[in-house]
Amino acid sequence: MKRELFEQDHEDFRASVRAFITKHITPNLERWDADGLIDRDAWKAAGEAGLLGIAVPGEFGGGDNPDFRFRIVQMEEFARVGANSFNAGTSVQDDLVIPYLVDLGTQAQKQRWLPALCEGTAVGALALTEPGAGSDLQGIRTTAIRDGDDWVLQGSKIFITNGIAADVVIVLAKTEPAAGARGMSLFVVPSDSPGFRRGRKLEKLGLRSNDTAELFFDDLRLSSESVLGEVGRGFVHVMERLPRERMSIAATAVAAAMAAFDWTRGFCFDRHAFGQAIGDFQATRFTLAEIATDLDAGISFLDRATLLLNQGELSAVDAAKAKYWLSDLHNKIVDRCLQLHGGYGYMLEYPIARAYADARILPIFGGTNEIMKEIIGRDIAARATSS
């Protein structure tokens, strides 16, 4: 099926992304996985290549282009070589941290952090999840209490992507604990602040070279200039930006599924058994046909949602549908692709094995897929009640 999402500018950009990957990413993938950490030089190289902060206004060092299709090109190219960990880190930077600063930051906050994030000389993280509060953000316990003109941050976060490397962390905390969702605020926290402490670099099933950490805030004092957005509207600010995060996950899912299918198709016609390519057996061909059809449907779904996002018309419900269905589809496709590799699919030297482990987190983070179904179901119920 011909894909009409991309224009010539996107394909020209794809060529530059491939050149960057060939030089800076593929030679280092195995070492990064072994180390459990991506070199800071790779972040700086990505910044120099114009791959970070594409949507950031030019006055702050960005590409001044909010077209999400350029981000999808990056995801597809990273997935093509199995660089899912690097994709995860840069997605947090570009699709989570940077939009918060662009949309909500003061001029001083933008001037301090956006140029460095675009250059790759700074790495950002978003700290929402806590040991007792994952998809239910209203259950967080981290607090920020006023002390004169300052705020004192106390608490901890867990499962924070880029947590070890981060130079700046956007933190959600309760500023009026009795007020529920109306009593939360966001803060911009430099990682060199006294009272900021990193815990363990967590050992994960997949995305092995992307660092994920526990973070602790021990009586960390922040000035009033550290508030991001409006005091008391932190929960609302997060909810408003979740569609972008969920679209990032959906796009990652499709990119990774496309890569898995490409590897598998090649394997099936290179690998021989019983005197012929395994792709020539009817059972294999039927499986490949099913995967190809599922993938076409997923690509069409993503492309439609991407155009809606670019037009500012993608609803939270639409984003939940894309995140849930496409991340589930991704896991289904990768599982079937691994099966077609036989015993080789279980070997980590084959990219499909690493992709299988990397895929499992997508239905979990950004709000579990069960939460996505609840969002969709509530919308269905509300429409039924109002009609």
**CA dist list (Å): 93 to 61, 280, 356, 374:** 15, 44, 24, 28
Tokens 């679209």 belong to which residue? 247
User: Is 245 part of the annotated catalytic residue set?
Assistant: yes
- Candidates 245, 290, 370, 374; catalytic one: 245
DSSP per-residue codes, 184-243: EEEEEEETTSTTEEEEEE---SS-TTS-EEEEEEEEEEE-GGGEES-TTBHHHHHHHHHH
Residues 6+ apart with CB under 8 A from 148: none
Instruction: Say how many C-beta atoms besides its own lie within 10 A of residue 122's C-beta.
Output: 24
Q: Which tokens belong to 113?
A: 């952090």
User: Would you give the DSSP letter of residue 83?
Assistant: -
Among 183, 185, 121, 189, residue whose Cα is nearest residue 160: 189
Quote the crossing angle between the two packed helices 84-91 and 351-359, to the nearest 10°.
30
How far apart CA 288 and CA 294 sit, in angstroms, is: 10
> Torsions phi, psi of 3, nearest 5?
-100, 125
| The amino acid at 383 | R
Q: Residue 41 is which amino acid?
A: D
Asked if 232 and 185 count as a contact pair (C-beta separation under 8 A), the reply is: yes
> What does residue 39 show for φ and ψ, rounded to 5 degrees?
-60, 140
Catalytic residues: 245
